[in-house]
Chain A
Amino acid sequence: MQTASAGLAAILRLVLEIDAIGKSFPAVRALDGVSLRVAAGEVHGVIGENGAGKSTLMKILAGIERPDEGRLVLDGRPYAPRSAREATDAGVAMIHQELNLAPALSVAENIVLGREPRRWGFVRRGPMRAEARRRLAEVGAEVDADAIVGDLPVAGQQLVEIAKALSQESKVLILDEPTAVLSERETRKLFDLVRRLKEAGTAILYISHLLPEVRGLCDRISVLRDGRLVAETTPAESDTDRLASLMVGRELADVYPPRGSRPNAAPRLRVESISVPGHVEGASFEIAPGEILGLAGLVGSGRTELAEAVAGLRPSRGGGILLDGAAVRFRSPRQALDRGVAYVSEDRKGRGVFTELACIENLTLPNLAAYGRVVPDRRRERSATAEWIRTLDIRCPAPAAPMRTLSGGNQQKFAVASRLDVKPTVLLLDEPTRGVDVGAKRELYHLISTLAADGLACLVISSELPELIGLCHRIAVMRQGRLVGEVDPAAESPDETERSIMRLAAGVSEHAA
C-alpha cells in the first residue's frame, strides 16, 4: 500500500480521519479495516468497482449507516453520526447518486429545508429566497428559486442539491457519482465549483467511475477493492490504466472489444420519421442485424423518448416502424418484447429492477411466459438465473436474495440480463453503464459486442462519448428532439469524433467551431 500523503497530511490541516472502519451486512463483509485521511482544501477521489464498499463508506460518513468497528474523527473530535441530520449538523454533507430532494417543493424550499428562516414560527419567504438565490449563484446554476424541483431536469436538480449542501456550510462534502446525470457543459461547471470550494478550504470526497475525470480533479485517489483499501495514490503516480487495474486487481486491457465490420444486411429495425409530441420530431434511423448504433445527445434532447416510443412505452405519431420490413406499432412493451424488441431503461431503480424482489424474480419477469404460461417452472428459472449470473459475472449473495442487497452495478447487470433473457432481436440500451464500474463496463461492452456479432441489432444511448466511440459502428446525434446527424467513429480519430459529436449535439456550426 502506498502512503504518498504522509508528508502532505502533516502540512495540511486534517479535517476527517477514518480509522479502521469495518461494516458487515447479512451476507457480506462490506468494509474491512478501511482508513483514510482527508485534509482541508483537498479533493480526495475514492474509486473502486461496484460492491467495493465505496457507497457503504460514504453512507457511514453521512450518518445513514453505522460502522461495526473503527472510529471517525472530524476536526479532532470523535464523530459518530446517528442520523443524516446529525451528520449535516456536524458539517458533513452528501450529494447522493440518487437525488434526495422533495419534488413537490420549490427550489428555495428545498435548499433551506429543515433550516428555514423563521419568525414567530412562520417561514420568512423573502430571506429564504435570498439565501437560495445566493447559493444558486455560488454554484453557477441558472435555476429559478421559485421553480418546483420536480419540474427541473435531472442536471438542474443536482445543482440544487449541491447548492443545498453548500448552504449547510459543510466542512466535508461528499459527491457520489455527480456527473452521471450531467451534460458536458454542466460537468465543467461542476468542476469549476469543486475547485472553488477546495480553495475555500472544504474537504471533498469525490466518488466516480470515470477515471479520467477523477485524475483531472483529485489531489489524491484511494482505491477500494472488496471492502479493503488497496492503494492510495496521486494522479501523477497513476494513469487511468493503472487505476483501472488497481480497481479490478489485475491488468485491464481491451476495455472495448474490437469493432467488427459494419454489417451489410437489410435493416432489422427501421424507424421512419416518427414523432413523440413534445419530445421527438420526425426521427428516422435504421439498424441492421449485427450492428451497434450509438445515440448521442444532451440530456433532454429526446433520446430516451425516441427509444421508448420504439419499444411501445410511449405513443408515437406519424411515420412508421418497420421490423424486418413489416410495419409494426407496439401499443405496449409486451407487444414489443413479444416481437423481440427490448428496452433497458436508464432509470435503474425506478424502472429497471424491483429492489424488493428476489434476483430470480427480477430476471425472469419479462420472459415469464417462457417458463410456463400459467405456472412458471421454478427449477428452470433458477438455472437460467444462475446461468446469467455466470455469463455476466454478477455478484449477488444468492439468486433468491432481494435485489436491494446488490450494488448498483450488479443491479444494472440484472436489468440488462432480464431483457436479454427474452432473446430479443433488437436491443435498446439507455445509458447501460451508468453507475457501473470499469470492470463491469468492460464486460457489458464485450457482451453487447458478442450479442451484435450473433445478429442482434443494438441501439446504445449514452452520455459518455468515449463509450459510444469505442463500441458503436455508427453514432447518431440528437438535438432538441431531432436527429441532426450521424458520425462514423471508424473514419476519424476518437478526439475528432468526439468533437464532431459535440458540435452536432450543441448545435454549433462547422464554421463557428
Chain B
Amino acid sequence: MSDAAAGSVAGSVVTRSPLARSLDLLQQYGVLVAFVGLFAFNAIWQGDAFLKPENLRNLLNQNAAVGIVAVGMTLVIVAGGIDLSVGAVMALAAAVGMLAMNGLAGMVDAEGAGQFVPLLAGFASAIGVGLACGALNGGLVTLGRIPAFIATLAGLIGFRSITLALAEGGEIRADQAITAVQAIGRDGLAIPGVVNAYDKPVVFYWTILLFLVVVVLGQLTLSRTRLGRHLVAVGSNELAARYSGVPVARVKLWSYTIVGFCAALGGIASTVRMNSVSSSQLGLYAELDAIAAVVIGGTSMTGGRGRVWGTLLGVLILVMITNMLSLWQVEVYWQGFVKGVIIVLAVLIQRGRAS
C-alpha cells in the first residue's frame, strides 16, 4: 500500500465553491458576525452615547451575573445535560450568603473595620450552597437516573421556595454595619485616562472582572483540560464514552457542580449590584437567559459541541438587543418576542454545519 501511504487522503483534494465556503464560515462564525454587526449598528445608530466606555461597562455589568451562569450552563449542555435550577440556586446561594454575613455583623466595629470575616463567610457559604445544590442536581441525574430536565425543574421550584421561606417572601438586606457589600458592587479597577461626564474616573467593576475571568477559565476548561474533553465525549456519545473508560457519572456530577458554583458566583455578583437579595426577583428567568446565550453562542443543545467564547458573545448580543429595544422605546412586553426570534434565527443559521 505504498501509494496510499500513512495518513494520506485517498483521491484528490477538491476545492469548494466560494459561496459554499462562505456559508460554512457564516455557520461557524455566525455569532461573531452577528456580534460585530450589532455592535456596528448600535455604534452608528446611537453614536457616542453607545461607544462611551462608561456605557459599554454598564452593559457588561448589567449582565455579568447571568453571563457567569451561562458559562457554567455551556459546560453542562456540552456534556449533554441541562440545568433549569440555576436562577433559583443563584437566589438561594445569595440569600444564605447574606444571612451568614448578617449573622456575623456583630464583628464589625463602629468605624466599619472588621468587615472582612463576615464578608468572606458570606461569600464562602454562598459558594458552598451553590456547590451543594449542583452536586444534588448531579446526584439526582446520575445516581437517581432522573432526566436532567425533570431533576433541575424540581430544583428550580424547590430552591426558589426555600429562598422565599428564608426571606419570608421579601428581600434580605445587608446589615447596616456591612457597608462593603455595596462598595464592592460599585468598585473596581479605575480605567486609566477614562472619566465620566462628571470628571470622575470610570471604574471597571469587580463583577465584570469576575465574569471575564470565569469566561476565560470556562473556555480553558472546555478546550484544554481532560475534564473538558470528558465533558465533550459524554455529550457526544455517552455509551462510547463509558466504553472508553470515561467515568461518565463523575463527569456529569462535575458538570452540575460547576454550574452550581457558577450560579453561586452569579448570585454574589447580583447581590453586590442590588445591595440586597430579593427572594422573588433575584435570578428570576436567569436559566432561560443563560440557555439562550448558550444557544446563540453556537453550542449544540444535544451536547458534544460547544464553546464558551460563543456564549460570551451570546450574552453580549442579548445585551445589545435589549439596549437597542429600550432605546427604540419598544415596550418591555415585546422584548421577549424579539429575543425568541433571535434564538430561533441562531439555531437555523448554525444548523447546517453538522449535516
* Chain A interface residues toward B at CB < 8 A: 24-30, 32, 51-52, 226-227, 248-250, 313, 332-334, 336-338, 343, 345, 350-357, 361, 365-366, 368-369, 372-376, 386, 389-390, 393-397, 399, 418, 422, 439
Q: Are A376 and B3 in contact (CB under 8 A)?
A: no
0/1 interface trace, chain B 240-274, chain A, CB 8 Å (1 if under): 11111111000000000000000000000000000
Q: How far is the CA of A357 from the CA of B237 in the complex (A)?
A: 10
User: When the two chains form the complex, which single residue of B1, B224, B229, B305 contacts A368, counting CB atoms closer than 8 Å?
Assistant: B229
Given the contacts A395-B8, A395-B9, A354 and B233 also touching, CB distance less than 8 Å: yes
Q: Are B247 and A334 in contact (CB under 8 A)?
A: yes
Given the contacts A354-B233, A365-B233, A376-B226, A248 and B245 also touching, CB distance less than 8 Å: no
**Cβ of B33 to closest chain A Cβ, rounded Å:** 22
Q: Are A333 and B245 in contact (CB under 8 A)?
A: yes
**Total chain B interface residues with beta-carbon distance under 8 A:** 36
B143 at the A/B interface (Cβ < 8 Å)? no
Q: What 10 A-B pairs come out closest when comparing CB atoms?
A: A29-B11, A390-B6, A24-B14, A389-B7, A337-B245, A334-B245, A351-B243, A366-B244, A333-B245, A365-B244
The residues of B that contact A372 with a CB separation of less than 8 Å are 226
**Cβ of B78 to closest chain A Cβ, rounded Å:** 12
Of all chain B residues, the one with the shortest Cβ separation from A308 is: B243
Q: Are A351 and B240 in contact (CB under 8 A)?
A: yes
Of all chain A residues, the one with the shortest Cβ separation from B16 is: A26
In B220-248, which residues have CB < 8 Å from any A CB?
Answer: 224-227, 229-230, 232-233, 236-237, 239-247
Q: Are A357 and B236 in contact (CB under 8 A)?
A: yes
User: When the two chains form the complex, which single residue of A343, A350, A369 contacts B226, counting CB atoms closer than 8 Å?
Assistant: A369
The residues of B that contact A375 with a CB separation of less than 8 Å are 224-226
Q: Can you identify 17 A-B contacts, CB atoms within 8 angstroms?
A: A26-B16, A226-B4, A227-B10, A227-B11, A343-B243, A351-B243, A354-B241, A356-B236, A368-B226, A374-B225, A375-B226, A389-B6, A390-B6, A395-B8, A397-B9, A399-B7, A439-B1
0/1 interface trace, chain B 4-23, chain A, CB 8 Å (1 if under): 11111111111010000000
Q: How far is the CA of A375 from the CA of B221 in the complex (A)?
A: 9
The secondary-structure label for the interface of chain B is loop
Q: Are B240 and A353 in contact (CB under 8 A)?
A: yes
**Cβ of A254 to closest chain B Cβ, rounded Å:** 14
Q: How far is the CA of A361 from the CA of B245 in the complex (A)?
A: 14
* Chain B interface residues toward A at CB < 8 A: 1, 3-14, 16, 224-227, 229-230, 232-233, 236-237, 239-247, 304-305, 354
User: When the two chains form the complex, which single residue of B4, B16, B243, B246 contacts A395, counting CB atoms closer than 8 Å?
Assistant: B4
Given the contacts A226-B4, A361-B232, A393-B6, A373 and B243 also touching, CB distance less than 8 Å: no
Of all chain B residues, the one with the shortest Cβ separation from A334 is: B245
**Cβ of B5 to closest chain A Cβ, rounded Å:** 8
Q: Are A365 and B229 in contact (CB under 8 A)?
A: yes
The residues of A that contact B1 with a CB separation of less than 8 Å are 248, 250, 393, 439
Q: Given A27-B9, A29-B14, 17 more contacts at CB 8 Å?
A: A24-B14, A29-B13, A51-B10, A313-B242, A334-B246, A336-B245, A350-B239, A354-B233, A357-B232, A357-B233, A357-B304, A365-B241, A365-B244, A365-B246, A374-B225, A375-B226, A393-B1
The residues of B that contact A333 with a CB separation of less than 8 Å are 242-245
Of all chain A residues, the one with the shortest Cβ separation from B236 is: A354
Q: How far is the CA of A507 from the CA of B6 in the complex (A)?
A: 45
Given the contacts A351-B240, A365-B229, A356 and B304 also touching, CB distance less than 8 Å: yes
The residues of B that contact A439 with a CB separation of less than 8 Å are 1
The residues of B that contact A51 with a CB separation of less than 8 Å are 10
Q: How far is the CA of A336 from the CA of B9 in the complex (A)?
A: 35
Of all chain B residues, the one with the shortest Cβ separation from A249 is: B3
Q: Are B243 and A29 in contact (CB under 8 A)?
A: no
Q: Are B226 and A26 in contact (CB under 8 A)?
A: no
Q: How far is the CA of A361 from the CA of B233 in the complex (A)?
A: 9
Q: How far is the CA of A226 from the CA of B9 in the complex (A)?
A: 10
Given the contacts A357-B233, A361-B233, A439-B1, A390 and B7 also touching, CB distance less than 8 Å: yes
Q: Are B226 and A356 in contact (CB under 8 A)?
A: no
The residues of A that contact B5 with a CB separation of less than 8 Å are 393
**Cβ of B166 to closest chain A Cβ, rounded Å:** 37
**Cβ of A492 to closest chain B Cβ, rounded Å:** 34
**Cβ of B254 to closest chain A Cβ, rounded Å:** 13
The residues of A that contact B236 with a CB separation of less than 8 Å are 354, 356-357
The residues of B that contact A389 with a CB separation of less than 8 Å are 6-7
Q: How far is the CA of A343 from the CA of B225 in the complex (A)?
A: 25
Of all chain A residues, the one with the shortest Cβ separation from B21 is: A26
Of all chain B residues, the one with the shortest Cβ separation from A68 is: B14
**Cβ of B260 to closest chain A Cβ, rounded Å:** 21
The residues of B that contact A352 with a CB separation of less than 8 Å are 240, 243
**Cβ of A69 to closest chain B Cβ, rounded Å:** 12
Given the contacts A333-B242, A333-B243, A334-B247, A28 and B10 also touching, CB distance less than 8 Å: yes
The residues of B that contact A422 with a CB separation of less than 8 Å are 245
The residues of B that contact A338 with a CB separation of less than 8 Å are 245
Q: Are A396 and B7 in contact (CB under 8 A)?
A: yes
The residues of A that contact B354 with a CB separation of less than 8 Å are 356
Given the contacts A356-B304, A375-B224, A29 and B245 also touching, CB distance less than 8 Å: no
User: When the two chains form the complex, which single residue of B241, B243, B246 contacts A345, counting CB atoms closer than 8 Å?
Assistant: B243
